[in-house]
Structure 1
Amino acid sequence: MSHADASTPLSILDLATVGDGYTPTEALAATTELARKAEGWGFHRFWVAEHHGMPGVASSAPAVLLAHLAAATRTIRLGSGGVMLPNHAPLVVAEQFGTLHALHPGRIDLGLGRAPGTDPATARALRRGQLDETGEDFPRLLGELIHFLDGDFPPGHPYERLRAVPGQASAPGSGRPPIWLLGSSGFSARLAGQLGLPFAFAHHFSAANTVPALDLYRDSFRPSEVLDKPYALIGVGTVAADTPAEARRLAGSGALAMLRLRRGQPALVPSPEQAENYPYTDVERDFVDAWLANIVIGDVPQVRQGLEELRRRTGADELMITSNVHGHEARQYSYQLVAEAYGLTG
């Protein structure tokens, strides 16, 4: 059987997953090892996502984690998938990613989301009363961030004389990290298109919206200095194992973790045994089945087929795999099998 289309860039989205029985220290060490392995296997980029108040996710500070991962790797692109911009002052994000870009030129991506990545109370604590729960303020914050990165506020702007250091203005010709907009609906899809920016869609938790959002992005796209045509990436939940049954068993952990999260009870990622023995109600079982239906699960041939079908159906330019399974060895092996499916041999 031939390999899947190796011309499609394949990337990883990692949440520094903390499984039941593990510590955040162990989870972050595992993410570091995974980034090194991903570089060796030939994955294109490795992103980490900002979440808060979730015991099972240790990536609450993407810029800090990315500095560590960049120091532990040499060539793979690293980025945020994403930084939740409304949680932060745009100048702070410009300084953080300007610093990362100065430390590791040409390797850093700045992916931005407009959701809080947490519950309303935590969002209020992060934002110190500046809470815009609608996300409608996002375009203004984004514009401010871009001006800080480029050092080009217009004359008369209150921030005209301000500079993000390190930044393009402090190092002429250094460019800036590429900005991506992330989304799970149409809002950021349209905005990314209008600004001519690359767009990353969260298919892994908003599968019903994927095709409409990508259509909206392409329809509203205007060429820019960054892109002359649309470039869309989709996040894809993927669990690979030696057998379909084992992959299905492993995938149960992430499904139960998501069920608890949706009920407002975030917890450590349960083991496969805990997921198998959980007393699901009929409604909970329906939720889990629906969740698993949008994840690519199986052995190497099944995963290859599932990812290729999804790529063809969505027209995505790049696939970003995320494997939310319990246990670092199983998670790493899942990514290794995906690399094999795509003929990534480093």
Structure 2
Amino acid sequence: MQLGPPSGTAPFALSVLASGGTGVGATAEEGLTGTIALARTADRRGFHRFWMSEHHAMGATSVSSPPLMIARLIAETARIRLGAGGVMLPNHAPLLIAEQFGMLDAMAPGRIDLGLGRAPGTDGATAEALRRGADGNDRFPQQVLELLGFLGDEFPPGHQYRAVHAVPGPWQAAQNRVPAPSTRPEVWVLGSSPYSARLAAQLGRPYAFALQFGDADIDTALRLYRDEFQPSDLLAEPRTLVSVPVAISDDAAEAKRQAATSAMAMLRMFKREGYLLLPPDEVEAYPATTQERQVLDAYTNRSFHGTPTRVADRLEALQERTGVDEVTLVVSGHSAELDRRGLELIADHYDLSRV
């Protein structure tokens, strides 16, 4: 099955990435309810995908298990693709992830994405508690290959897992004398470095570049991915996605205040104070040092914040420079309602369909 670009009125496919944002003053239930509302809006307004990222031990995030949220969102949405952006594979056994996403694809055939990352999605101590070992990152390519083998039941003769089968999946269908599933989760390689770009190219898989993390070199990564891409049975040509942080409002000043809450969360993480989304007023009142102000300004300016027209101009300039096929809007401000309203505004700007 070959993947093709989705149709749409924007000059690129538009998608959404959420982390179950839980601002200071909100409960975990409210954060998850806000994520469901975001997914409903994205589905109704014609966005292509709705992804959630895996995080652990962070006060500002509620989604520690994207598969659990995807299962809920299948019932809350009608047409949008749902997925993890991503599952941090070194935290998990590949067989378990293959079974979980095989179940999700069985519940919503052709709508499930599986983005794979190798970062822990947390701090060092929590990563140790999750991974129980120091070689998680080193084994990432092997884990990806194992996961793909389980999803397709395609281990070669003599492989140690040849007789191990992910259920649901092709093996179960054969055992029960029914046709094999016509779809399977769409697997993406995630990253923000040449390492991930080369791995995606070698596997012939679509590549999602996370531009929300620091000064990552997207130009080099995409060049390597395209130059080294090897066609696969899934993908004949390179396919790329870039995720960018956004804060969109009719009020440009309010959008900037929202972006600043995420910038403060990053500063707090660098200072080992915990990733929290503080209220905008508290962020504005913070007595930052000169060095801290540089970090706050850098991350605020890196966000694509402002009116829909301003944000769209920056998105289109990025796409023109990089040639990416798809842009994912990372929404992670203190106000879940401003994030949801921002999706409405950019959908109106691009005249995305209403479902």
User: Which of residues 257, 263, 276 is equivalent to 1:249?
Assistant: 257
C-alpha displacement of 1:328: 1.7
Point out where structure 1 has 5 or more consecutive residues left out of the alignment: none
User: Which of residues 148, 152, 155 is equivalent to 1:153?
Assistant: 155
User: Which of residues 130, 134, 138 is equivalent to 1:131?
Assistant: 134
1:152-301 to structure 2, matched below 5 A, reads 152-171=154-173, 172-301=180-309
- Matched letter for residue 280 of structure 1: A
Aligned position for 1:105: 109
- Matched letter for residue 303 of structure 2: I
Matches of 2:52 and 2:41, distance apart in 1: 15
TM-score scaled by length of structure 1 = 0.95
Partner SS, residue 190 of structure 1: helix
Aligned position for 2:68: 64
**Conserved in 2, the CA contact under 8 Å of 1:168 and 1:176?**
no
C-alpha displacement of 1:71: 1.4
Matches of 1:68 and 1:144, distance apart in 2: 27
String of CA shifts for 1:98-142, please: whole Å, max 9, x gaps: 110111111000100011111121111112x23315x22111011
Matches of 1:5 and 1:132, distance apart in 2: 45
Point out where structure 2 has 5 or more consecutive residues left out of the alignment: 1-7, 174-179
Aligned position for 2:177: none
Cα distance, 1:173–1:116 mapped onto 2, change above 3 Å: same
User: Which of residues 61, 81, 91 is equivalent to 1:77?
Assistant: 81
Matches of 1:16 and 1:65, distance apart in 2: 9
C-alpha displacement of 1:262: 1.8
Cα distance, 1:175–1:344 mapped onto 2, change above 3 Å: closer
Query: Percent identity between the aligned chains?
Result: 48
String of CA shifts for 1:268-322, please: whole Å, max 9, x gaps: 3111111111111100100111112221111121111111111111111000001
Cα distance, 1:122–1:302 mapped onto 2, change above 3 Å: same
The more displaced of 322-331 and 9-18 is: 322-331
Root-mean-square deviation (CA, aligned residues, Å) is: 1.4
**Conserved in 1, the CA contact under 8 Å of 2:266 and 2:275?**
no
C-alpha displacement of 1:36: 0.7
Cα distance, 1:309–1:7 mapped onto 2, change above 3 Å: closer
C-alpha displacement of 1:147: 0.6
String of CA shifts for 1:212-263, please: whole Å, max 9, x gaps: 1111111111111111111000001111111222211221111101111122
Partner SS, residue 208 of structure 1: coil
- Matched letter for residue 272 of structure 2: G
- Matched letter for residue 143 of structure 2: L
**Conserved in 1, the CA contact under 8 Å of 2:268 and 2:276?**
no
Cα distance, 1:41–1:175 mapped onto 2, change above 3 Å: closer
Aligned position for 2:176: none
Matches of 1:106 and 1:90, distance apart in 2: 21
**Conserved in 2, the CA contact under 8 Å of 1:303 and 1:341?**
no
**Conserved in 2, the CA contact under 8 Å of 1:240 and 1:299?**
yes
**Conserved in 2, the CA contact under 8 Å of 1:79 and 1:109?**
yes
String of CA shifts for 1:134-178, please: whole Å, max 9, x gaps: x22111011111111111211111211110001132231433211
**Conserved in 1, the CA contact under 8 Å of 2:11 and 2:316?**
no
Aligned position for 2:322: 314
Aligned position for 2:4: none
Structure 1: which 4+ aligned runs deviate by more than 4 Å? none
Matches of 2:135 and 2:210, distance apart in 1: 22
- Matched letter for residue 39 of structure 2: A
Matches of 2:345 and 2:170, distance apart in 1: 40
**Conserved in 1, the CA contact under 8 Å of 2:247 and 2:259?**
yes
Aligned position for 2:96: 92
Partner SS, residue 237 of structure 1: strand
Matches of 1:64 and 1:296, distance apart in 2: 29
Matches of 1:98 and 1:336, distance apart in 2: 32
TM-score scaled by length of structure 2 = 0.93
Matches of 1:70 and 1:117, distance apart in 2: 24
String of CA shifts for 1:48-69, please: whole Å, max 9, x gaps: 0001110101111111111011
